Amino acid sequence: MNRSDAERIASLFESLGFAAAADMASSDIAIVVMCSVRQMATDRIFGLEQKIEQARKINSKLKIILTGCVVESDKNNFAEIFDHVLDIKTLSQWPAILAIKFSVGRTHANIMRGSDPRNPRKQGKKLIKDYFAIPPKHSSKFSALIPISKGCDNFCSYCVVPYTRGPLAPRPIKDILNEIKNAVANGAKEIWLLGQNVNNYHHKGYGFADVLRLANDIPGDFWIRFTSPHPKDFNNEAVLAMAQCQKITPYLNLPIQSGDDVILKAMKRPYTVAQYKTLVKKIRTAFKKHRKGIEKEIAISTDVIVGFPSETKAQFQNTAKAFRTIKYDMAYISRYSKRPNTAAALLDDGVPPKEKKRREEILNDIVKTTALNHNKKFIGKIVDVAIESIKNGFAFGKNRHYKTVKLAIKERQIKAGDIAKVKIVKAMPFGLEGQMI
């Protein structure tokens, strides 16, 4: 979502006459889009202080804005480092806000030149009221990030998102479909539908399954992916739409967060491990029924937190057990860190860092085994690979199952953004190797 925000910010500033600068010191304005989901990400922003000071020594007129997912209680501290801490939801008003607040100088002149030099406030109002209505400047030619909603109503006990992003706010279906059509017309081959709770989409009678089916009906040769769904919001219609709509890739990130029912309850995740497993089975069965060849097997990844307050060794073992039975293709494992204002922040973070690391390593080892077993099924198969980068005679990309594929190439044989037909010759835990055919 932060990358998507950055694309809308880039589009807005381009419309105001700005161009991308090579580095912070040579910029009029630098914008930092932050994430507060983990303490580590917040620490990284504080870690920028030295870099910012150095840039200011070279360019005293530099203005730096912080936006994105910013926890309220961090704002005062950040105000000492950044010139402005602005809410991303007010993006359409930024030209007016900045024109008012910036002292007259190079930056100010640039803003005014790009908007309406006679009346920047008027231009700010004339700009678009809704931040979603600002057309994004997609950073990748191949992949387009399309938010379908923002915010979240769930208040999982460890998560800051409902506090930083606000309640769930879905976009009108027409706007979503128009943005997809534009992206496809501009050459996008992969559409990512985004939302903090993406499958809780509901707007004027349309649900998430409708978004999937209507996106799938848009003419063109492109792939559809989405993130991040909540297990509680996966209804049967969405499962069926996912399996039946052939543009939807056979890959799903389905956060489990814990494999223990007591911890799930403490996390305020309203499902049990048994319900989660039933959902996984339902999804796998639907793909077996509605897809052909290797696409009968859907790749499933998950998000999980280790060392949630009071998580005992036995409760962690339940998570390890769930990992062994579900057999994930990939897992994004986080060591619990206390986030301000959340319900879990009031609990005693009793699991020592060393133990959290140990639990992370155990899950990582399980996933390495299960992922390798899944990946071996690709050997000898011919798959489409969306090329993302080229380096030292190799191309790297993702197949429809979201597996990273590496292939040796001849000079100028292929470029980033192409879809290559590749025969898979080798499987590793977290990647595949192939040859172009």
Comparison of 267 and 419: residue with beta carbon closer to ligand SF4: 267
Number of Cβ atoms within 10 Å of the Cβ of 288: 13
DSSP codes joined into one string, 360-389: HHHHHHHHHHHHHHHHHTTTT-EEEEEEEE
Comparison of 218 and 347: residue with beta carbon closer to ligand SF4: 347
Comparison of 5 and 83: residue with beta carbon closer to ligand SF4: 5
Comparison of 39 and 317: residue with beta carbon closer to ligand SF4: 39
**Residue 14 in tokens:** 């381009």
Q: Closest separation between CB of residue 159 and ligand SF4, Å?
A: 3
Comparison of 1 and 387: residue with beta carbon closer to ligand SF4: 1
Q: Closest separation between CB of residue 146 and ligand SF4, Å?
A: 18
Q: Closest separation between CB of residue 180 and ligand SF4, Å?
A: 23
Q: Are 398 and 422 in contact (CB under 8 A)?
A: no
What's the order of all strands across the beta sheet hosting 190-194? 143-147, 190-194, 223-227
Q: Closest separation between CB of residue 276 and ligand SF4, Å?
A: 14
Binding site for ligand SF4 (CB under 6 A): 152, 154-156, 159, 161-162, 196-197, 230
Query: What residues form DSSP beta bridges with 225?
Result: 192
CA gap 251, 133 in Å, rounded? 29
Q: Closest separation between CB of residue 55 and ligand SF4, Å?
A: 33
What's the order of all strands across the beta sheet hosting 330-335? 251-253, 299-306, 330-335
DSSP codes joined into one string, 82-124: -SEE--GGGGGGHHHHHHHHSPSSHHHHHHHHHS-TT-HHHHH
Comparison of 152 and 212: residue with beta carbon closer to ligand SF4: 152
Q: Closest separation between CB of residue 71 and ligand SF4, Å?
A: 13
Number of Cβ atoms within 10 Å of the Cβ of 268: 15
Kindly give, in sequence order, each residue whose CB lies less than 8 Å from that of residue 53, ignoring residues fewer than 6 positions away: none
Comparison of 343 and 436: residue with beta carbon closer to ligand SF4: 343
Q: Closest separation between CB of residue 258 and ligand SF4, Å?
A: 12
